[in-house]
Chain A
Amino acid sequence: MATVQTEQVTLTVNGQSVTVPKGTLILDAAKKIGIDIPIFCSHPKMAPVAVCRMCLVEVEKMPKLQPACAVYVADGMVVKTTTEQVNKYQKGVLEFLLINHPLDCPICDKGGECPLQDQTYQYGPGASRYQFDKAHFDKAVPLSDKILLDRERCVLCWRCTRFSEEISGERELALIQRGVHTIIGTFNDEPAKSAYQGNWTEICPVGALTSRQYRFISRPWDLDRTPSICPGCSMGCNIQIDARNNKIGRFQSRENLAVDDSWLCDYGRYSFPNFQRQSMERPRVRRDGRLEEVAYEDAIAFTVDALKRAGGQAAGWASPADTNEELVLFRRLFREVLRSPHLDHRSAAVPDAEPDDMSLAIADIERLDCAVVLGGQEVIDAAPVLHLRLFKAQRKGLTVLKVGAGQVAEAVAGVRPDCTVVGILATEANKAAAVELQSKLQRKVKGSVRRLLVTTGPNGRGAKDLGILPHLGPGYASLNGQAGKGRTEWPGAGLRALYVHESSPLHGFTPSDAESMWLPTLPLIVFHRFKPSPLDEMAHVILPGHAFTEKDGTVTNMEGRVQRISRGLDADWVLEDWRVFQEIANGLGAGWAYESVADITAELVGSLPPYAALNRGERVLWSEPG
């Protein structure tokens, strides 16, 4: 297919000439040459509505001022954004917007990062001429258990209602009444059920929609902002950890067009209390049936002695929320130092993983003709932001077929044979069905069929890639008959020690019934974890570790994109998890000498060539995409 040459047009903005593709808005053309036009209702992800009238600019030969966010450029257009008339209108629009705005910035959570506040200072009049009482509406109306709506602060920009209609497709928020009585609300004032409500607070240009969890926690200038990755699921959405006094205030989204398209789901966004440390914990060792606080050296020495006795009969479980660097050392500790093959990262419910290319990228969903969601809502629940990508593609013409996990025949029948690019989305648990569907569809349709599996945990894909599996080594290499036993087979396998490493309470080691019977019979349980859990009662050694939000490293998302996480909170008294692995390994006779996380990352990239993608910001691919 030949690339379509987009027609270019040249226009003048404030005397500067700029060339942009046809179909660009004046606003974006001005932004390209660094000219700022104030906006409230316009949003790059949503269709223009031009309701706030803040972006009015002068266009030569047009009788009245035009909204820059809704007028497309034309060849030879002459736009002026700083004339006296434009300034007068900007002042007028702001004066009108502020007539009924309560101006309660001192108590508003948006104060300090509020577009209305900023633009009033930059473009607004110094004082209001309005002498009468302001109109009063309801304040702090709970829209759901997550969001509060302040109807007085609302400037009716429609961003939230448009998000609800165009981005999430749930149509939960609507404009009710008319004129000055217009309010934002849900149908019948029922609580909103959307899984994407946090985005409303982020796109609101005033303090009308605010988060209940973040209510009065902090001012924007108090926050320490750290770029990181969401620990909720395997999507790998980019987040910013906003913390005040070493306490997380909120997770905000960071735009990564290839992954999250600048949105977050509520499950991930509001999961942060799970990553907040409650107490200053010390390592503990069980002596005479009681857990005693000891120094790290003593706890590690105790673990080394006990693991030496267990040797090849020690099993290791690493959480799918660990970083790649921790997983590299964890695997080497078991496979190379202890010579034990019993390594796993999965929960009991997930079947064996196989080498897999997972060649469909998240962003490529938009380029599909037909997408089969095998498992329907189950897949969306496992990675909620996928829904936003699917819905965006659906609005552009993608056919989405949602079928049950076992309904392969229905899925094959539902896909039109003339489709050229077909995608299959499924969870890890339904992998066998997805592979079957892929081969059947490949025979039916003309073009290519690719699949994307939603893995478990923010780094479930990394755990597989790096060989935290009983039967495979790093890079899905065969173990040549040295395969160990998987987690489901551990009870009754005659094991003598279990090492559990978990850094996220969302993806912890939850014992099954069989395991609950088996765990108390084990001579040694080492529990290396971040937060107190019921497993503490059975553990012989408890080693405090860092939470997902407290460490540096890399994680691999479901499509194989390796992204960095960084330390957003300090917990200096806790020994870094990889250092604990290194000291245990050195106690057992290994001679590791890693100085920092970067050393391990460098070794990882060196030993597994596909992981060199990390340095290019690309995806890790184990085979060429078909």
Chain B
Amino acid sequence: MALREILLGPIYIVRALLTTFKHNTRPIVTIEYPERQKAVPPRERGKHILHRYADGLEKCVGCELCAIACPVGCIVVEAAENTPEHRVSPGERYAKRYEINLLRCIYCGMCEEACPYDAITMGPRYDLADDHPDKFIAVKEDMLEPLSASVADTAVPSGAPSAQPVARKW
């Protein structure tokens, strides 16, 4: 019994090493997460994005329909009036304050469904870990599309006049 094991031992070792080396040649499945991120499906429901029109004006008019549609009540919106000196969105009204509590959010996408101007959509970002609960209150600036990217924004409905907000036909 003992002799047999002594004779076969090196074979076992070689077989185990072969298994190890075989995996070295296979393609790698894991990625270096914080540095590299996986591509997500096109309809991924990650962190919200507030969109702009091609001319850089915000699409959101502060109507609060996302806030009332939200099943967990994690959205707070306060509206204000546009003036010629301070124009934020094309129409009369814009969102002065737009906050989402990302800890409370269940990423269901109801806000996106409710929005009459396609101003809010669920984005691809899912790397939302942080070290303090306060940092999970996303304010408007955290979610707004950067101005430079707005020109390439495919979310602007083709042919939509950007001077007037486009209301969905009822």
Q: Using Cβ atoms and an 8 Å threshold, which residues of chain B touch A103?
A: 167, 170
Q: Using Cβ atoms and an 8 Å threshold, which residues of chain B touch A219?
A: 63-64, 68
Contact with A along B96-119 (1 / 0, CB 8 A): 000000000000000000001100
Complex contact B167–A104 (CB within 8 A): yes
Interface of B is mostly: loop
Complex contact B116–A216 (CB within 8 A): no
**For B80, B91, B170, which residue has the most chain A Cβ atoms within 10 angstroms?**
B170
Contact with B along A85-106 (1 / 0, CB 8 A): 0000000000000000011111
Count of residues in A whose CB is under 8 Å from the partner chain: 18
> Which chain B residue lies CB-closest to A221?
B68
Complex contact A222–B81 (CB within 8 A): no
| A428 → B minimal CB distance (Å) | 42
A217 and B81 alpha carbons, distance in the complex (Å) = 9
> Which chain A residue lies CB-closest to B117?
A106
B93 close to chain A: CB less than 8 A:
yes
| A275 → B minimal CB distance (Å) | 21
Q: Using Cβ atoms and an 8 Å threshold, which residues of chain A touch B137?
A: none
Complex contact B64–A140 (CB within 8 A): no
Q: Using Cβ atoms and an 8 Å threshold, which residues of chain A touch B165?
A: 107
B65 close to chain A: CB less than 8 A:
yes
Contact with B along A209-241 (1 / 0, CB 8 A): 000000111010110000000000000000000
Complex contact B170–A216 (CB within 8 A): no
Complex contact A216–B64 (CB within 8 A): no
Q: Using Cβ atoms and an 8 Å threshold, which residues of chain B touch A107?
A: 61-63, 91-93, 165
B79 close to chain A: CB less than 8 A:
yes
| B66 → A minimal CB distance (Å) | 11
Complex contact B167–A216 (CB within 8 A): no
Q: Using Cβ atoms and an 8 Å threshold, which residues of chain A touch B170?
A: 103, 126-128
Complex contact B81–A106 (CB within 8 A): no
> Which chain B residue lies CB-closest to A217?
B79
| B112 → A minimal CB distance (Å) | 15
Q: How large is the interface on B (under 10, 10 to 19, 20 to 34, 35 or more residues)?
A: 10 to 19
> Which chain B residue lies CB-closest to A140?
B92
Q: Using Cβ atoms and an 8 Å threshold, which residues of chain B touch A105?
A: 63
Complex contact B64–A222 (CB within 8 A): yes
> Which chain B residue lies CB-closest to A215?
B81
Q: Using Cβ atoms and an 8 Å threshold, which residues of chain A touch B65?
A: 106
A139 and B93 alpha carbons, distance in the complex (Å) = 13
A128 and B169 alpha carbons, distance in the complex (Å) = 9
A106 and B118 alpha carbons, distance in the complex (Å) = 12
A445 and B65 alpha carbons, distance in the complex (Å) = 64
Q: Using Cβ atoms and an 8 Å threshold, which residues of chain B touch A139?
A: 92
A111 close to chain B: CB less than 8 A:
yes
> Which chain B residue lies CB-closest to A120?
B170
Q: Using Cβ atoms and an 8 Å threshold, which residues of chain B touch A127?
A: 169-170
Say which residue of B63, B117, B167 sits within 8 Å of A111 (CB atoms).
Answer: B63
Q: Using Cβ atoms and an 8 Å threshold, which residues of chain A touch B92?
A: 107, 139-140, 216
| A96 → B minimal CB distance (Å) | 15
Complex contact A216–B81 (CB within 8 A): yes
Say which residue of A128, A140, A216 sits within 8 Å of B79 (CB atoms).
Answer: A216
| B157 → A minimal CB distance (Å) | 16
> Which chain B residue lies CB-closest to A212?
B81
**For A107, A111, A126, A128, which residue has the most chain B Cβ atoms within 10 angstroms?**
A107
Q: Which B46-89 residues have a C-beta within 8 angstroms of A?
A: 61-65, 68, 79-81
Q: Using Cβ atoms and an 8 Å threshold, which residues of chain A touch B117?
A: 106
| A603 → B minimal CB distance (Å) | 43
Complex contact B116–A106 (CB within 8 A): yes
Residues of A near any B CB (own CB < 8 A) = 102-107, 111, 126-128, 139-140, 215-217, 219, 221-222
Residues of B near any A CB (own CB < 8 A) = 61-65, 68, 79-81, 91-93, 116-117, 165, 167, 169-170
| Cβ contacts A to B, 13 pairs, < 8 Å | A102-B167, A103-B167, A103-B170, A106-B61, A107-B62, A107-B93, A111-B63, A140-B92, A215-B81, A216-B79, A216-B80, A219-B63, A222-B64
